[in-house]
Amino acid sequence: MAATTVSKVPNFHDILPDAIMSNIFSLITDTRTRNAMSLVCLKWCKLERSTRKSLALRGNIRDLNQVPVCFQAINNLDLSCLSPWGHPLLESSSNPSLLAKLLSHAFPSVVSLTIYARSPLTLHFLAPEWPKLSHVKLVRWHQRFNAPIGYDFFALFEHCPSLSSIDLSHFYCWTEDLPTAFELYPSIAASLSHLNLLVGHSFTEGYKSHELLSITSACPNLSQLLATCVFDHRFLGFVGDETLLSIASNCPRLSLLHLADSTALSSNSSRADPNNNDEGYASEDARISPTALGDFFESLPLLEELVLDAGNNVRDTWPALELLNAKCPRLKSLKLGQVHGICREIDSSMPAAGVALWKGLESLSIKNSADLTDSALIAISLGCSNLTKFEVQGCNKITKMGMQIFARVLEKTLVDVRISSCKYLNTVCSLQALEPIRDRIQRLHVDCVWESVEQYSQDHEIRGESSSSSHEACGFKDFQTEKRIMMSEEEASLKKKAKCCDGSGNGFSSCSDTWTKLKYLSLWIAVGELLNPIRLAGLENCPILEEIQIKVVGDCRNQQKPVFMAEFGLNSLVNYPQLSRMHFDCGDAIGFALTAPRGYADLSLWERFYLNGIENLNLKELNYWPPQDMDVHQRSLSLPAAGLLSQCRSLRKLFIHGTANEHFMSFFLKIPTLRDVQLREDYYPAPENDTTSEMRVDSCYRFQDALNRRHIPD
Q: How far apart are CA 662 and CA 297, in angstroms?
A: 55
Higher pLDDT, 163 or 280: 163
Question: What does the alpha-carbon distance between residue 111 and residue 202 come to, in Å, rounded to a whole number?
Answer: 30
Q: DSSP letter string over 182-213? A: HHH-HHHHHH--EEEE---SSSSS-B-HHHHH
Among the listed residues 40, 59, 58, 62, the one whose alpha carbon sits nearest the alpha carbon of residue 49: 40
Residue-level pLDDT at 13: 66
Q: How confident is the model at residue 541 (pLDDT cuts 50, 70, 90)?
A: very high
Please state, rounded to an integer, the average pLDDT across all residues of the chain. Answer: 85
pLDDT (average), residues 563-578: 86
Listed in sequence order, the residues at least 6 apart from 395 whose beta carbon sits closer than 8 Å to its beta carbon are 280, 366, 367, 368, 369, 370, 372, 422
- List of residues 6+ apart from 399 with CB closer than 8 A: 374, 424, 425, 429
Write the CA distances from 198 to 64, 114, 205, 222, 265, integer angstroms: 31, 16, 11, 15, 9
Q: What does the pLDDT read at residue 31?
A: 83
Has residue 461 got a pLDDT over 60? no
User: What mean pLDDT do residues 510-529 have?
Assistant: 87
Q: In the structure, what pLDDT confidence band is assigned to residue 710 with cuts at 50, 70 and 90?
A: confident
More confident residue, 599 or 492: 599
Mean local confidence (pLDDT), 637-644: 95
Given a cut of 50, whether residue 319 has pLDDT beyond it is: yes
| Average pLDDT over every residue of 653-679 | 93
| Count of residues making up the chain | 714
DSSP letter string, 469-486: HHHHHH-SPPHHHHHHHH
Mean pLDDT of 289-307: 96
Q: pLDDT tens digits for 577-636? A: 999 999 999 999 999 987 788 878 889 999 999 999 999 999 999 999 999 998 888 899
Instruction: Provide mean pLDDT across the span 411-434.
Output: 95
Note if the bond before 84 is cis, omega within 30 degrees: yes
Q: Is the pLDDT of residue 30 over 50?
A: yes
What is the Cα 602 distance to its own chain's centre?
Answer: 28
Respond yes or no on whether the N-terminal peptide bond of residue 685 is cis (omega within 30° of 0). Answer: yes
pLDDT in tens, 354-386: 777 788 899 999 999 999 999 999 999 999 999
Q: Can you give the pLDDT at residue 686?
A: 86
What DSSP line would sit under 641-695, residue for residue? HHHHHTT-TT-SEEEESSB--HHHHGGGGG-TT--EEEE---SSSPP-SGGG-SS
Query: What's the pLDDT at 563?
Result: 66
Q: Once rounded to an integer, what is the mean pLDDT over residues 115-130?
A: 95
- What's the mean pLDDT in 649-667? 93
Position 690 scores a pLDDT of: 55
Question: Between vectors from CA 658 to CA 653 and to CA 663, what angle results, nearest 5°?
Answer: 75
The pLDDT of residue 579 is 97
Q: When comparing pLDDT for 587 and 65, which is higher?
A: 587
Among residues 656, 658, 698, 704, the alpha carbon closest in space to that of 92 is found at 698
Q: What is the mean pLDDT of residues 105-115?
A: 96
For residue 694, the model assigns a pLDDT of: 60
Q: Report which of 714, 582, 591 is spatially closest to residue 655, judged by C-alpha positions.
A: 582
- pLDDT of 1 strictly over 50: no
Q: How much is the average pLDDT of 700-706?
A: 89
Question: What would you report as the CA-atom Rg of the chain, rounded to the nearest whole angstrom?
Answer: 28
In the prediction, which pLDDT does 449 show? 92
Contact present, 673 and 640 (Cβ < 8 Å): no
User: What pLDDT score does 27 carry?
Assistant: 85
Residue 107 neighbours by CB distance under 10 Å = 24
